[in-house]
Amino acid sequence: MSSSSFGFSSYARPIVVFGRDGQVGKEFQIYLGGLNASVVFLGRSDCDLSSELSITETLNKYQPQVIINAAAYTAVDKAETQPELAFAINAKAPTLMARYIANVPYGILVHYSTDYVFGDNKQSAYFETDTAGPVEKLSVYGQSKLAGEQGIEEVFNSAKNYWDSIHQEQLSRYFILRTSWVFGEGGNFIRTMLRLAAERDQLNVVADQVGVPTSAQWLAEVGMQMARSHAESGIYHAVPDGETSWHDLAVFAIETAATCGEGIEFKPENIHPITAVEYPLPAKRPYNSRLNNKKLKNALSRIAFTGKYPHWRDQVERYVREHVEQSLKS
Ligand SMILES: NC(=O)c1ccc[n+]([C@@H]2O[C@H](COP(=O)([O-])OP(=O)(O)OC[C@H]3O[C@@H](n4cnc5c(N)ncnc54)[C@H](OP(=O)(O)O)[C@@H]3O)[C@@H](O)[C@H]2O)c1
């Protein structure tokens, strides 16, 4: 896609991407790196998102037109003992970004959030209109991400009242893309399963938690599609079609790797289903991580999204194939 069709090349102010070195951030580097748009990719050494001063200085320095926040405190278990840090990075930092961009005419904030904002108060897929929480049922990570969503929404709601009276067409917008079970260039469940399948004879994998595996590459693509769209501000559930359990995802990934030359001896029947209770972890994980993607699908169809809306199986298959090809080369 050319930079002109992208619609950002005419802006004097740059696109600033936080979280350059994360799974989603790396995909933004690939996706935006080749475009003729003005983009700044920032990592932890450029801006410490736990520091208000560092964030303010960075925003004043680059004066972005578009902020992509792909950064987060994602160490879910560690967050249980580091709540202040998790809240600083996951709640305070995106709120400060919102405060900045809400005052920029035509400004855009793309922020990523998570299924962990839901506390198993529903059996079926969550809609964006479902109430998040209850907070007491969420992990610290989930609480901090929810506080980040709320911080962004509060800032934009109050800015809207101000801008409404001036230039409504200049109103800045935000997109909170809630996603789940992300895999990309970094540590993730699929990579762990492929490694363990090469090392062990038997695996026990949780089978009573259900969600939607989501490609980091696709998340970056969707983030930019939304940023260049005229879609309404708000929360969108950004997951592919379908759903699965961790157990079935492990079976699918290992079977796929075996069919594309990984030389895996491991038999998928040796992946034993267990319950989450049998695999205790410091932070509570949702049993139900299903996110309904209808709102995003509608928005993408209105902006002529070039790709076919994906199913998680296609994304995982492609990812495993690429992963195997890379490891065979090295
Ligand atoms: N991973 C998942 O399964 C999952 C599921 C649902 C939602 N999400 C959400 O999706 C988004 C992207 O996730 P991801 O998997 O790409 O995350 P990730 O790979 O863990 O990357 C997070 C990035 O944030 C950066 N970061 C953390 N603390 C920072 C700080 N104090 N200052 C500056 N940068 C800091 C990290 O920097 P370093 O590289 O220096 O550590 C890292 O590059 C996040 O909002 C996450 O909450 C993820």
Give pLDDT tens digits for 223-234.
999 999 999 999
Mutation test residue for ligand 1: of 48, 139, 182, 185, the one with most atoms within 8 Å of CB: 182
How far apart, in whole angstroms, are the C-alpha atoms of residue 106 and residue 104?
Answer: 6
Mean per-residue pLDDT for 210-235?
Answer: 96
Amino acid identity of 209? Q
In tens, the pLDDT along 239-252 reads: 999 999 999 999 99
267 Cα to the center of ligand 1, angstroms: 33
Task: Check residue 291 and report its DSSP letter.
Answer: B
Q: What's the rounded Cα separation, in Å, for the pair 85 and 70?
A: 17
Question: With 60 as the cut, is the pLDDT of residue 194 above it?
Answer: yes
What is residue 262's predicted lDDT score, i.e. its pLDDT? Answer: 61
Q: Which atom of ligand 1 is nearest to the CA of 112?
A: 45
Residue keyed to tokens 């157990």: 247
Q: Residue 6 above 60 pLDDT?
A: no
For residue 108, the CA-to-ligand 1 centroid distance in Å is: 20
Chain centroid, CA 310 distance in Å: 16
Is 254 in contact with 197 (CB distance < 8 Å)?
A: yes
Contact by Cβ (8 Å): 178, 115: yes
Tell me how far apart the alpha carbons of residues 315 and 297 are, in angstroms, rounded to a whole number.
17
Q: Ligand 1 pocket: which of 48, 74, 78, 221 to mutate (most atoms <8 Å of CB)?
A: 74
Q: Which residues contact 278 (CB under 8 A, 6 or more apart)?
A: 204, 206
Confidence of residue 108 (pLDDT cuts 50, 70, 90): very high
Return d(Cα 222, Cα 227) in angstroms, integer: 8
Read off φ and ψ for residue 116, nearest 5 degrees.
-65, -5
The residue that leads in pLDDT, 59 or 307, is: 59
Q: Is residue 3 pLDDT above 50, yes or no?
A: no
**C-alpha of residue 93 to centroid of ligand 1, in Å:** 13
For residue 101, how far is its CA from the centre of ligand 1 (angstroms)? 21
Q: What is the pLDDT of residue 37?
A: 77
* Range 24-50 average pLDDT: 93
Residue 69 vs residues 162, 203, 227, 234: alpha-carbon distances, Å:
24, 35, 12, 15
CB-based contacts of 143: which residues, under 8 Å, 6+ apart? 83, 87, 135
Query: Which residues participate in catalysis according to the annotation?
Result: 141
Ligand 1, atom 30, residue with closest C-alpha: 49
269: DSSP letter: G
Contacts (Cβ under 8 Å, ≥6 apart) of 252: 244, 313, 316
Give the Å distance between the CA of 25 and the centre of ligand 1.
Answer: 8
Q: Which residues does 263 contact at the CB level (< 8 Å), separation at least 6? A: none
Helices and strands: H and E segment counts in the chain: 11, 12
Q: How many residues does the chain have?
A: 330
Which protein residue's CA is at the shortest distance from atom 15 of ligand 1?
23
Could you give the angle at the alpha carbon of 35 between the alpha carbons of 33 and 40, nearest 5°?
50
pLDDT value, residue 327: 76
Rounded average pLDDT over 60-79: 98
- CA 21 distance to own-chain centroid: 13
Closest CA to ligand 1's atom 28: 73
| pLDDT of 198 strictly over 50 | yes
- Which residue has the CA at smallest separation from atom 8 of ligand 1? 114
Q: What contacts 18, CB < 8 A, 6 or more positions away?
A: 25, 42, 47, 49, 67, 68, 69, 70, 71, 93, 97
Q: Quote the percentage of the chain above a pLDDT of 70.
A: 92
**Ordered alpha helix ranges (H), the chain:** 3-6, 23-33, 52-62, 83-87, 93-101, 140-164, 189-199, 216-227, 246-259, 294-302, 312-329
Q: Which residues line ligand 1 (CB under 6 A)?
A: 19, 21-25, 43-44, 48-50, 70-74, 89, 112, 114, 145, 179-182, 186, 216
pTM of the predicted protein model: 0.95
Could you tell me which of 330, 290, 293, 327 has the C-alpha nearest to residue 310? 293
User: Hey, whose CA ends up nearest to atom 19 of ligand 1?
Assistant: 22
Rounded to the nearest angstrom, the distance between the alpha carbon of 223 and the centre of ligand 1 is: 15
pLDDT mean over 210-231 = 96
* Predicted pLDDT at 308: 82
- Ligand 1 atom with the smallest distance to the CA of 51 is 31
